[in-house]
Structure 1
Amino acid sequence: MEELHRAKDRVLLVAVEFSARRAALLPSALLAREVRKLAEPAPATQAREVPAAGELLMEFRELVLSAGAEIAGEFVQRRPKPDPATLIGSGKVRELAGVVAATGANAALFDHDLTPTQLRNLEAALPCRVLDRTQLILDIFARHARTREGQLQVELAQLEYLLPRLAGRGKAMSQLGGGIGTRGPGETQLETDRRKLQRRIVQLKHDLEAVRRVRGQQRQRREAVPVPTVALVGYTNAGKSTLLMR
């Protein structure tokens, strides 16, 4: 999984608004926003308000800064519907490549979930790494995961996201010759990497289940003691640790 906090990445934000499908894209585009609202459910009679594009872009910037990246520039496009191959269309991809070169960005971050095909095509056309909103959210979670269970959950989510997107991820995924004692006749590096990820996913699920089992036993012992339990919940960088230390 690509991370945004290796060495203060310079990120070009790519915000795309689809007028014909804005409501349908709401769950993906507002993932972080909806997390904040979990503790404040709206009344049943209240209609869901769709924020303006400017508000979404502002939240997008805050998430990128939370990931420890530097914003090199912004690229905003409005179109009626997503392009199946590149999300933004071939013409805009060429324009975006020029903006990447002009700003010196080493990563283009889309405020939208990219399909494996879109990710592959964009990486082939742009002179930088390509990331989407899900990768950004997972990266932030990885930065702030402190418990063993949290770290396992984040790594599992990252690998399950990466698995269907292995194809076309650079020269490291190019086909290699097979043979006796290697990976088998005709097998590719991609297939080898896929099997490694699958084995790691199985191991993570096993480790996660073991951690949950231990935590369940600890919880049962705590519940046997008549001591109140308090939970501190809040959004990323909301000040939970600061409040707890006070």
Structure 2
Amino acid sequence: MRVAIVHRVQPGEKPNLDELRELCLTAGYEVVYELIQRRYPHPKYNIGPGKLAELKDAVKKLNIEKVIFENDIKTVQEYNLAKALGIPVMSRVQLILEIFSLHASSKEAKLQIKLAELKYELSRAREKVRLAKMGEQPGFHGLGAYEADVYYNEINRRIHTLTKKLASIKKRRDLFRLRREKYGNSYNIARWLY
């Protein structure tokens, strides 16, 4: 997948896209465009409108499929950028979670990564629903919950379920460790033979 990487730095800071470029390669992305801007964060897009126009032009010309920011971007900025560019936008944190997800091998590791993703999503859930439903209001006579609350509660439920599964795996692992200490490796060999 062809991506653009963006780093907005405060005036006086030194930009560095080397690590983000390496993370993109690890995730299987091809970095085809890099953008650096020195300014304070723009409230709507994180980068200024001029750099946004430059990025939009690059997206069209270079067939870029995703934009990855070195900076942590707010939910509203991610939404505005994705809407303006017409492609997905993600932050470095989301990229790192994606890399861990790609390389997780054990069931426990996969559950831990999913839990981290949900906790990250939970912090952004209400704002995402608000932005998606912009302009809509629940009916005056409606008895149901706001969609943001439903989405937020669903994420909380999934977090609770994953936490219980991880606790169960940890308990089983601790039990096997105790048995191994008590009976030695013969317990493991016997367990696998039957």
Post-superposition CA distance 1:135-193 (Å, at most 9, x none):
0000000011111111111001101111232334799x445977xxxxx6354444332
1:222 aligns with 2:188: no
1:206 aligns with 2:153: no
Q: Give the equivalent residue in structure 2 for 1:123.
A: 82
Higher helix share: 2
* 1:226 positional shift: 7.3
Question: Does the aligned pair in 1 maintain the 2:130–2:148 contact within 8 Å?
Answer: no
Q: Give the equivalent residue in structure 2 for 1:145.
A: 104
Alpha-carbon spacing, 1:185–1:90, altered in 2? closer, same or farther (3 Å): farther
Alpha-carbon spacing, 1:189–1:72, altered in 2? closer, same or farther (3 Å): farther
Post-superposition CA distance 1:60-108 (Å, at most 9, x none):
11110111122232222222x3234322123322332222222211211
* 1:194 positional shift: 2.4
Distance across 1 between alignment mates of 2:109 and 2:96: 14
Distance across 1 between alignment mates of 2:130 and 2:29: 22
Q: What is the TM-score normalised by the length of structure 2?
A: 0.79
Distance across 2 between alignment mates of 1:84 and 1:212: 43
1:65 aligns with 2:33: no
Question: Does the aligned pair in 1 maintain the 2:72–2:92 contact within 8 Å?
Answer: yes
Q: Give the equivalent residue in structure 1 for 2:6.
A: 14
Distance across 2 between alignment mates of 1:170 and 1:191: 10
SS at match of 2:54: helix
SS at match of 1:125: helix
Gaps of 5+ in 1: 1-8, 23-51, 179-183, 228-246
Q: What is the TM-score normalised by the length of structure 1?
A: 0.64
Paired residues, number: 182
Note the 1:1-246 alignment, pairs <5 A.
9-20=1-12, 22=13, 53=15, 56-79=16-39, 81-166=40-125, 167-168=127-128, 173-174=132-133, 185=143, 187-224=145-182
Amino acid at match of 2:30: E
- Comparing 143-152 and 160-169, the one that deviates more: 160-169
Question: Does the aligned pair in 1 maintain the 2:129–2:148 contact within 8 Å?
Answer: no
Identity in percent? 36
Alpha-carbon spacing, 1:61–1:154, altered in 2? closer, same or farther (3 Å): same
Gaps of 5+ in 2: 186-194
SS at match of 1:76: strand
* 1:209 positional shift: 1.1
Alpha-carbon spacing, 1:169–1:177, altered in 2? closer, same or farther (3 Å): closer
Amino acid at match of 1:192: V
Indicate the RMSD between aligned Cα atoms, in angstroms: 2.9
Alpha-carbon spacing, 1:221–1:18, altered in 2? closer, same or farther (3 Å): farther
Amino acid at match of 1:66: T
Amino acid at match of 1:195: N
SS at match of 2:17: helix
Distance across 2 between alignment mates of 1:212 and 1:206: 10
